[in-house]
Structure 1
């Protein structure tokens, strides 16, 4: 189907107040589509508020302009009480990758079997004419994606970064740019479940690692989760590249998977000497940098540009993000670390005996062995204090109390920050790295990230320091 054929299709868009849904709506409106129906499970009064929340990285004026364009360009928006109305009439349904997380979307499970069920990933697979670089992995995909983007920018290439569900994407500009250009896409296991509708893969695919995570999205099956990750390369051709972590057991098993050329990298690569950036600390982040370097070399990017891109890299919001320093105490926002493995990697990046850790949230069917591993890292890295809140508390407390750290059970994130401030010393780090999903106190990790930042801003005179 040619891109212009979309203009006359009956297209339904799920979640138009979100960054993914609004990006798609604005693209399809600009393309000239005439039969667009929006759906959003907020009510009419909440829609504007939710839109501002999900687009907090841009100005309110810009958001208001977009809201007006969306309301004018769509035939109708079906809000809470009429959500998914006439969805069976759709020829194409565009859904965000998180659609299956919400019970209200259960009717879509049957529709996706018989109708064209797309995500923005399908737009790139079907219509993007440049070089598509896809990055997935249980951990490290966000950092690796950002590093590749930074290197290509340093090489003065025309490049777009897509993938964060909170990030607006200008698909009209991307899809009309032509060659030569690049898109670097961060692809979750949920996004990759849409690959079957296009049966295509990126020219360059990177898999950083595969470990047990998000199994509730795949009926509790690790095998199905692995299959979702492998979908990034399933449809590659002989002139494509699959870039794999040689130190990860599951990615090593893919050496004969798909028709593409296999390229391996590791954190032990000699190329790590190129990294001078303090933001890329620890083996976990060095591994991500090695993946980015290998990708850049395949694209024939100069060594000068690679070094410039690596050392100019800045972490994305909620990913080992330095927020502020008060009275010689540094606050680090790593709210996007929703797994124990990611929190382990975060803790390891700091000097021994300097971390005050905040854990928070909820985990469906938590893996005790993974949290026991986290406890070992907490001990080996000399974590001083831990504050834990949320529905995970009852499960975590017995494990954390076996560590050498002082453990505080709190009622919420604000109280956790207060406890850590009261028990920190000059030179310490207060690290929010939850190791759990945010469902419970917050809608998602982004709301948790924003709340942490707001709490820090309210500390007008800095935390009390213990000498």
Structure 2
């Protein structure tokens, strides 16, 4: 186990992961300096517990403190292009991620789940499977429960499940999950990565230190791209796909089928599951493959996953009011997630478009044109909000009517005014939330509160636009 006693460690980035890393290092006897390039009242409040433990905190920092450090621990919120990060690199301080730090100190097996979309859903599926088998586990690694914050708890567990973004896998060195899942590799975060291939290489780091007795569970299409980039895969591999029958696990109409030796045949009928759509079929395949790798019987897995509902803010049904369905997909922060949402919703009779789409926010350097033909097939109109509204209109305007509005609440109101019975009002932004909201959860909560106001607002809140303005109130 690494020994941090009397080491001088710099922690850069003081969101939840950075604060947990600082406190963990302090408990292990390190001399910790914690820095962040932001300086807000909320951040000052959140870092008070670090100061109380004797950690030196510097906010608004643009450079590393002028003293020697044995190690720097960085968090995914700190961009490599930032002056603070460049200063750390210029000082030639060894750098690891918070994920790497936590993994070095945990006392149980780990299962990592990465990819552009589906990490939370697949983590919940694997968690449900393992709990049904009586295994002791926690889902950690996300902002609300950083890995560094559960190190001491891990000695009481069989597994830690770690949904991990590409940014968290940067600066991993020895990180080696026993089972590593790559769900998909649709382009994302191209404001951080120079190309889709660079983004995929970052995701592929999850397999880097695996051994021949470990397991890599990879979407078939992503596996082909990893092979083209010559990314090494030292462990045993299971592939899956909802669209390519050459994968080890594949979809035939609604059935998940396996061609794996000693596991051939049908595994699960997805029509019996609460999770629907091709994207969720792949999430189910990945979870079943992980359970297989961990020796859980198929019957127990199938029984466990059937009842797992959609996660909050992931194609979450909010209400149906006067024949209009409201769907909260606030976690859709890229065009691939939007495409998954549209393909998961049933069209109107005759295949006519029936979706009023609410989209926008802060861009991530992604291209939006590819989803245009799907919008033309499924969407009646788009109401665009946030910093990226004009770029979205430029990309989609030839495919579907696009109307920029001032805010998400105005987008809800306009969609309500235009919708008729049988329509769907879908919040699936295809962008991050950070221009207007704290995070995607707050964005989804604002949408749900607006829908609640409409559905409880009496005759003046009619989604078909008749009988009044139907104005959605702001959240409480």
Question: Partner residue of 1:441?
Answer: 436
Question: Partner residue of 1:305?
Answer: 300
Matched, 1:118 2:96: yes
What are structure 1's unaligned runs of at least 5 residues?
52-66
- Structure 2 contact 328–427 (Cα < 8 Å) conserved: yes
Residues 308 and 408 of structure 1, relative CA distance in 2, 3 Å threshold: same
What is the deviation of 1:237?
Answer: 1.0
- Structure 1 contact 323–453 (Cα < 8 Å) conserved: yes
Question: Partner residue of 1:237?
Answer: 211
Q: TM-score, normalised by structure 1?
A: 0.82
Size of the aligned set, in residue pairs, is 436
Matches within 5 A, 1:47-446: 47=43, 51=46, 69-80=49-60, 82=61, 84=63, 86=65, 88-100=67-79, 103-108=82-87, 110-111=89-90, 114-164=92-142, 166-169=143-146, 171=148, 173-178=150-155, 181-195=158-172, 198-218=173-193, 220-248=194-222, 249-251=224-226, 257-267=232-242, 268=251, 269-270=256-257, 271=266, 273-275=268-270, 279-327=274-322, 329-353=324-348, 354-367=354-367, 371-380=368-377, 382-403=378-399, 405-442=400-437, 444-446=439-441
What is the deviation of 1:352?
Answer: 0.7
Give per-residue Cα distances to partners, 1:76-121, cap 9 Å, x unaligned: 32122x565516533222221121167353434525x722322231
Give per-residue Cα distances to partners, 1:247-288, cap 9 Å, x unaligned: 444256589833211112223132563445654211111011
Of 7, 24, 36 in structure 2, the residue corresponding to residue 27 of structure 1 is 24
- Structure 2 contact 360–392 (Cα < 8 Å) conserved: no
Give per-residue Cα distances to partners, 1:292-320, cap 9 Å, x unaligned: 10110111112343124313424334332
Q: Please state whether the residue corresponding to 1:223 is helix, strand or coil.
A: helix
Worse-matched range after superposition: 415-424 or 405-414? 405-414
- Structure 1 contact 352–383 (Cα < 8 Å) conserved: no
Residues 106 and 69 of structure 1, relative CA distance in 2, 3 Å threshold: closer
- Structure 1 contact 209–251 (Cα < 8 Å) conserved: no
Give per-residue Cα distances to partners, 1:215-254, cap 9 Å, x unaligned: 3323x23332222122111221111111122244425658
Q: Provide the rounded CA distance (Å) in 2 between the counterparts of 1:441 and 1:217.
A: 20
Structure with more contact order per residue of length (Cα contacts < 8 Å, sep ≥ 6): 1
Give per-residue Cα distances to partners, 1:361-383, cap 9 Å, x unaligned: 2335442xxx3331211232x32
Q: Provide the rounded CA distance (Å) in 2 between the counterparts of 1:141 and 1:254.
A: 23
Q: Provide the rounded CA distance (Å) in 2 between the counterparts of 1:305 and 1:144.
A: 17
What is the deviation of 1:416?
Answer: 0.8
Q: Comparing both structures, which one devotes a greater share of its residues to helix?
A: 1
Residues 257 and 34 of structure 1, relative CA distance in 2, 3 Å threshold: closer
Give per-residue Cα distances to partners, 1:336-395, cap 9 Å, x unaligned: 21211110001111121442211102335442xxx3331211232x32331112232223
Q: Please state whether the residue corresponding to 1:387 is helix, strand or coil.
A: strand
Residues 328 and 70 of structure 1, relative CA distance in 2, 3 Å threshold: farther
Residues 96 and 319 of structure 1, relative CA distance in 2, 3 Å threshold: farther
Q: Please state whether the residue corresponding to 1:384 is helix, strand or coil.
A: strand
Question: Partner residue of 2:260?
Answer: none
Residues 435 and 322 of structure 1, relative CA distance in 2, 3 Å threshold: same
Residues 174 and 317 of structure 1, relative CA distance in 2, 3 Å threshold: farther
Residues 90 and 443 of structure 1, relative CA distance in 2, 3 Å threshold: farther
Q: Provide the rounded CA distance (Å) in 1 between the counterparts of 2:320 and 2:72.
A: 46
Q: Please state whether the residue corresponding to 1:99 is helix, strand or coil.
A: coil
Q: Please state whether the residue corresponding to 2:4 is helix, strand or coil.
A: helix
Residues 14 and 257 of structure 1, relative CA distance in 2, 3 Å threshold: closer
Q: For the aligned residues, what is the CA RMSD?
A: 3.0
Residues 41 and 379 of structure 1, relative CA distance in 2, 3 Å threshold: same
Worse-matched range after superposition: 232-241 or 356-365? 356-365
What is the deviation of 1:207?
Answer: 1.3
